[in-house]
């Protein structure tokens, strides 16, 4: 059984808690063990949390769950692009998979609910696929 961790953005805590339950269910179905869950304030803190977890020899992969809504400025889009680029780089540096379960950037409120379960499950499934 492979050990994974999950990084959760706390800005939309109630939605992310639901995503975490679906991630737990998916990991159980795929034979992955979630051994650590780290809550971060927002998207900017996700890469550091992922980096720390991937550096742990006991962790085989990390899923990240979050929501980046569309705002009145381009801040969310710019932040989302920077975070995702950094997550890709961290996978390459650590040679371990990261499952991306971030809804957005640019998510409208009506886009969030239908994506919660699919994004959570897909983030864990991506790790499982890359560990095979």
Taking each helix axis from N to C terminus, what angle separates 109-131 and 13-30, rounded to the nearest 10 degrees? 30
Cis peptide upstream of residue 54 (ω within 30 degrees of 0): no
Active site residue 111: no
- From the list 75, 94, 111, 119, the catalytic residue is 75
Q: Which residues contact 89 (CB under 8 A, 6 or more apart)?
A: none
As annotated, the active-site residues are: 75
């Amino acid at each position: 059984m492979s050990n994974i961790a999950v990084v959760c953005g706390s800005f939309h805590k109630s939605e992310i808690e639901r995503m975490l339950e679906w991630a737990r269910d998916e990991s159980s179905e795929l034979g992955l063990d979630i051994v650590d869950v780290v809550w971060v304030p927002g998207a900017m803190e996700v890469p550091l949390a992922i980096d720390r977890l991937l550096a742990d020899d006991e962790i085989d992969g990390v899923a990240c769950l979050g929501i980046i809504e569309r705002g009145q400025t381009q801040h969310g889009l710019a932040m989302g692009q920077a975070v995702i680029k950094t997550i890709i780089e961290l996978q390459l540096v650590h040679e371990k998979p990261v499952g991306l379960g971030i809804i957005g950037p640019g998510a409208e409120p009506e886009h969030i609910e239908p994506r919660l379960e699919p994004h959570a499950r897909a983030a864990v499934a991506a790790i499982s696929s890359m560990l095979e």
